[in-house]
Amino acid sequence: MPKFQLLRDFLVSDGVIGEDQLYQPGRPPQAWLELVHETAYVTAYCGGTLDAKAQRRIGLPWSEGLVRRTCTAVGGTILTAKLALNQGLACNTAGGTHHAFPDYGSGFCIFNDIAIATRLLKAQNLLKTILVVDLDVHQGDGTAWIFRNDPTVFTFSMHCAVNFPSRKQISDLDIPLNEGTEDDEYLRQLANHLPGLVTQIEPDLVLYDAGVDPHRNDRLGKLALTDEGLYRRDKYVLETCAQAGYPVACVIGGGYGKDMGALIQRHAYLHRAASEVYQKYC
């Protein structure tokens, strides 16, 4: 998928970030992936021996290039989380594969980067509590299931009620939204819940999935946010956390517009908002 490189190039060419703000992640060792995923699944996917049914469930044709991209994105989320702990705020230009479960992938998601980064940072004693704020239009079902019995990880998902996955998991807090929800109602719901969660949980890190598929022109969305609504959403999340002193690591999540240029602009709102919030609070 070209959007990841296009987003990186756009952010630099448009002056949102400078080359000195870019970090290149490495491919994580298999042992890190296995903090969340079963060995047989990781080995089969990376080696190209995953059966056809499992590949269809993922929805992406296997290739060595896709394996490299998938693992690099996981490495990017790990690096982003560590940078956020050190700097207060950091953004990946990929990530947000929240439909991946321990033994299978689903919905274009192969390995759950949010869960892997969380488990790794906890194993390395870099943090104890995490708040996952998932504002992708689809429920973060894989993440919710993985942490269903972990009181140190609070999963918050605000998503379209009548969208994929048809079978929802139980997050610590789910806010299902009606089809066609627009900016003001969406932001009202977010404001009703996020500040209280941050105050209640006092997380060592907030992991924010800033999917742009709630946009009104998204092919898979079913909500009706505008460009302005997406930007206001991202800035609100980042300001709420940063102003209270909680570091935030961001991933870009889903986005499925037909116009690639417009899609890149939507993903860039996260980074624009992060730049402004970082300069003000971090």
Angle between helices 39-47 and 64-87 (to 10 degrees): 120
The per-residue pLDDT for 257 is 87
The helix/strand/coil state of 225 is: strand
Tally of domains within the chain: 1
- Positions annotated as catalytic residues are 99
Provide mean pLDDT across the span 24-41.
97
User: What's the average model confidence in pLDDT over 58-68?
Assistant: 96
Q: What is the residue-averaged pLDDT of the chain?
A: 97
To the nearest 10°, the Cα dihedral for 121, 149, 70, 177? -120
Per-residue pLDDT tens over the stretch 93-149: 999 999 999 999 999 999 999 999 999 999 999 999 999 999 999 999 999 999 999
What pLDDT score does 1 carry?
59
- State which residues form the domain around 71: 3-281
pLDDT at 259 over 80: yes
| Triad 229, 263, 104: Cα angle to 5° | 100
Residue 253's contacts (CB-CB under 8 Å, 6 or more residues apart) are: 95, 96, 98, 134, 135, 136, 209, 210, 211, 212, 213
Q: Which residue has the tokens 């997050």?
A: 171
**CATH number of residue 36's parent domain:** 3.40.800.20
Interval 199-251: pLDDT, tens: 999 999 999 999 999 999 999 999 999 999 999 999 999 999 999 999 999 99
Question: Looking at the predicted structure, is the pLDDT value of residue 18 above 70?
Answer: yes
Nearest Cα residue to 130 out of 249, 277, 265: 249
- Contact at 8 Å (CB) between 165 and 106? yes
| CB 88, CB 206: distance < 8 Å | no
C-beta of residue 165 within 8 angstroms of C-beta of residue 107: yes
